[in-house]
Amino acid sequence: MFGSFGLGEFLLLLGILLLIFGPAKLPEIGRNLGRAIGEFRKESRKEKEEENRVKENKNK
Protein backbone atom coordinates (compact mmCIF):
# COMPACT_ATOMS: atom_id res chain seq x y z
CA MET A 1 0.00 0.00 0.00
CA PHE A 2 1.14 3.52 -0.71
CA GLY A 3 -0.27 5.04 2.48
CA SER A 4 1.34 2.74 5.01
CA PHE A 5 4.91 3.88 5.62
CA GLY A 6 6.84 2.22 8.39
CA LEU A 7 9.82 3.59 10.27
CA GLY A 8 12.27 1.90 7.91
CA GLU A 9 10.71 3.40 4.80
CA PHE A 10 10.55 6.83 6.43
CA LEU A 11 14.23 6.73 7.39
CA LEU A 12 15.21 5.56 3.91
CA LEU A 13 13.23 8.39 2.32
CA LEU A 14 14.76 10.92 4.72
CA GLY A 15 18.26 9.64 3.89
CA ILE A 16 17.64 9.94 0.16
CA LEU A 17 16.29 13.47 0.58
CA LEU A 18 19.33 14.43 2.64
CA LEU A 19 21.62 13.16 -0.11
CA ILE A 20 19.73 14.98 -2.85
CA PHE A 21 19.01 18.34 -1.19
CA GLY A 22 21.42 18.53 1.73
CA PRO A 23 20.61 19.37 5.34
CA ALA A 24 20.42 23.14 4.78
CA LYS A 25 17.63 22.91 2.19
CA LEU A 26 15.32 20.41 3.96
CA PRO A 27 13.72 22.85 6.46
CA GLU A 28 12.86 25.24 3.63
CA ILE A 29 11.37 22.42 1.57
CA GLY A 30 9.34 21.24 4.57
CA ARG A 31 8.01 24.74 5.24
CA ASN A 32 7.01 25.25 1.62
CA LEU A 33 5.35 21.85 1.48
CA GLY A 34 3.43 22.60 4.69
CA ARG A 35 2.25 25.93 3.33
CA ALA A 36 1.14 24.33 0.06
CA ILE A 37 -0.81 21.62 1.89
CA GLY A 38 -2.43 24.24 4.14
CA GLU A 39 -3.42 26.36 1.17
CA PHE A 40 -4.84 23.34 -0.63
CA ARG A 41 -6.94 22.39 2.41
CA LYS A 42 -8.20 25.95 2.81
CA GLU A 43 -9.27 26.19 -0.82
CA SER A 44 -10.82 22.73 -0.69
CA ARG A 45 -12.84 23.73 2.38
CA LYS A 46 -14.00 26.93 0.64
CA GLU A 47 -15.07 24.91 -2.40
CA LYS A 48 -17.10 22.49 -0.26
CA GLU A 49 -18.80 25.36 1.56
CA GLU A 50 -19.69 27.03 -1.74
CA GLU A 51 -21.02 23.75 -3.09
CA ASN A 52 -23.19 23.30 0.02
CA ARG A 53 -24.54 26.86 -0.31
CA VAL A 54 -25.49 26.23 -3.94
CA LYS A 55 -27.26 22.99 -2.99
CA GLU A 56 -29.17 24.74 -0.16
CA ASN A 57 -30.25 27.58 -2.44
CA LYS A 58 -31.28 25.09 -5.11
CA ASN A 59 -33.50 23.22 -2.64
CA LYS A 60 -35.38 26.40 -1.57
Residue 30: closest CA among 14, 11, 16, 12: 14
- Mean of the pLDDT values across residues 1-19? 84
Per the domain annotation, does 33 fall within a domain?
yes
**Is this model's pTM higher than 0.85 or not?**
no
- Mean of the pLDDT values across residues 9-29? 90
Per the domain annotation, does 17 fall within a domain?
no
User: Model confidence over 20-57: pLDDT tens digits?
Assistant: 989 899 889 889 999 999 999 999 999 999 999 988 88
Task: State how many domains the chain has.
Answer: 1
Per the domain annotation, does 32 fall within a domain?
yes
Per the domain annotation, does 8 fall within a domain?
no
Can you spell out the DSSP letters for 15-40? HHHHHHH-TTTHHHHHHHHHHHHHHH
Task: Give the residue numbers spanning the domain of 51.
Answer: 23-60
Per the domain annotation, does 28 fall within a domain?
yes
pLDDT above 60: residue 1: no
Residue 15: closest CA among 23, 25, 3: 23
Per the domain annotation, does 9 fall within a domain?
no
Per the domain annotation, does 50 fall within a domain?
yes
